[in-house]
Every structure is written in C-alpha cells, then in structure tokens.
Amino acid sequence: MTDPVLRTRGLHKSFGALVATDDVTLDVRAGEIHAVIGPNGAGKSTLIAQICGTLAPDRGTVTLDGEDVTALPARDRARKGLARTFQVSALAMEDTVLQNAVLGALGARGRPWSFLRAATRDRNLRDTAEAALHRVGLIDHAATHAAELSHGQRRQLEVAIALTLAPKVFLMDEPMAGLGADGSKQMTSFLDGLRTEAPILLVEHDMDAVFALADRISVLVSGRVIATGTTAEIRSNRDVRTAYLGE
C-alpha cells in the first residue's frame, strides 16, 4: 500500500491541566475522506490547528507525503499542499470571485486588490483561477462580488482558492455549519466529487453528511481517539455508540 498523504503521530496538546489532544495518531490516504467526529470540546479544532501549523503541539509529529513538517510554520505547510479551507472570513468581500481566486493563486490573499490589479491580466494566473472556479461550479459568478455570494458559495470559493495551490490534502473544520438542509446536501455532493482532487480530513457534526461521505471515521472523545474504522465499523461499534452516539 502507498504511504498515507497525511499522518499524525502522537499529537499532544495541553492547556494548563486540560488535555485537548491526547497522543492523536491518524492518517489520511490518497482518495479518501477521513472524518473526525466527537462531542463539543473533544479536541477536533485543536487537532486541525496542530496539523495546519497554527498551533504548536507539546509533542508529536505531522508528516505530509513522507516529509516531517512539524517544525514548519502554517504558511510553509500551505505552500506544500496542506490546504485548510472554510476560513470564510479570509475572503476579500469587496473583490470579485475571480479576483479572490487570482489573489489566492498568487498566495497574496488578504492584500488589497487595488495593489494587484495587474494580476488579473496575467494569463497564467487567470487561467489557473478560472479553472478552479470552473471546477467548483462558480465560473458563472466570476464577476460577482464575494459579498453577494451565499454562505455555501463562499465555501466553494474557499475551496477554489485552495485548488489554485494544487493541494495534497484538504483540512475542513465543520463545512456544513450554518448551511440549511439544502445547502448541506449540495455541499455533501460537492465534497463527494472533491476527493478525486485531494483526500479530505473532515471534521463534521452533521452525521448524515459524515455517514454519506466518509470512507473512514475516527472518533475523538476527551482528546483521545477511541476508535478508527470504516464507516460501517464505526456505526456498529458498541463503545462509539455508548460514548458518542448516546445509545
């Protein structure tokens, strides 16, 4: 079997006396959606933060495509293909969808567009940005201002920006949050198609979405992985049903 694209080994993080992640070991393989589920406060967001590099673990390692990236800052991990999406607030709302995608492709998001106007005339950047918008179904909205997009469309734009950087793996923290039933359904089918671009580590509360999408599931309770398995295995796991599904 090929090496996993992403691997954590013993990621440990305490906040004072509170152990937020307790030696978390998991991997994400090519082509899969690996969901991480668990109750509020289980350590899911803390885990994502350590993987993408915005939070330093007390101990443990993060490996991307066989390379230990634990010592790298978040920006360098992102350049190497660790794509954290759905930080919707990072979009430039007064800029168009295409401008946001071009800024993303430039690695210049967060900079005012007025300084970078020439970039939309760069043929390569524009082609890359347009291909990504096409891929997520936003190409018809290229000239729309980001502020006018729906919540779900903003998330698709975040994914498009990640795609311009040729991600090796997507990290997603609750992409269904704030979407209604229809929005969740659309996002589910969107994510389903996305796994062929890059595998996904998916933190999600919406169990319908998790069971529909996940190839494998890890269950986090009080910072500890209590089970990892296929979706069928996790659904029938007695400990999981007791600890998390409340049965």
Query: Nearest distance from residue 55's CB to ligand ADP, in Å?
Result: 8
Q: Count Cβ atoms below 10 Å from residue 100 Cβ, excluding itself.
A: 28
181 DSSP 8-state letter: H
50 is a contact residue toward ligand ADP (CB under 6 A): no
State the minimum distance, in angstroms, from the CB of residue 174 to ligand ADP. Answer: 8
| Residue nearer to Mg ion on the CB measure, 48 or 69 | 48
Least Å distance, CB 43 to Mg ion, is 8
Residue 115 contact, options ligand ADP, Mg ion, none, Cβ 5-8 Å cut-off depending on partner type:
none
Give whichever of 32 and 204 is closer to Mg ion, judged by the CB atom.
Answer: 204
Unique residue bearing structure tokens 């790298």: 72
The interface with ligand ADP within residues 122-151 (CB under 6 A) comprises none
Sign of CA dihedral 213, 31, 149, 133: negative
Token pair in block for residue 181: 């039933």
Query: Helices then strands (H, E): number in the chain?
Result: 9, 10
Among the listed ranges 23-31, 43-51, 124-132, 232-240, the one in contact with ligand ADP (CB under 6 A) is 43-51
Rounded to a whole number of angstroms, the minimum distance from the CB of residue 200 to ligand ADP is 17
Quick check: 227 binds ligand ADP (CB under 6 A)?
no
**Which of 7, 34, 44, 154 forms a contact with ligand ADP (CB under 6 A)?**
44
Select the residue interacting with ligand ADP from 7, 27, 33, 38 (CB under 6 A). 38
DSSP for 71-139? TS-HHHHHHTTEEE---GGGS-TTSBHHHHHHHHHHT-TTS-GGGGGGGGG-HHHHHHHHHHHHHHT-G
Shortest Å distance, C-beta 177 to ligand ADP: 11
**Are the CB atoms for 53 and 77 separated by under 8 Å?**
yes
Question: What residues contact residue 167 under an 8 Å CB cut-off, 6+ apart?
Answer: 81, 82, 83, 197, 198
175 binds ligand ADP (CB under 6 A): no
- Using CB under 6 A, which of the segments 12-20, 69-77, 110-118, 150-158 binds ligand ADP? 12-20
Handedness of CA 168, 171, 177, 178 (dihedral sign): negative
Region for 85 from its dihedrals, namely left if φ exceeds 0, alpha if ψ lies in -120 to 50, beta otherwise: beta
Work out what residue 38 binds among Mg ion, ligand ADP, none; the CB cut-off runs from 5 to 8 Å by kind: ligand ADP
Pick one of 32, 33, 46, 146: the residue that binds ligand ADP (CB under 6 A).
Answer: 46
Query: Which residue in 40, 114, 124, 196 binds ligand ADP (CB under 6 A)?
Result: 40
Q: Which stretch binds ligand ADP (CB under 6 A): 40-48, 104-112, 153-161, 175-183?
A: 40-48
Looking at residue 4, what DSSP letter applies? Answer: P
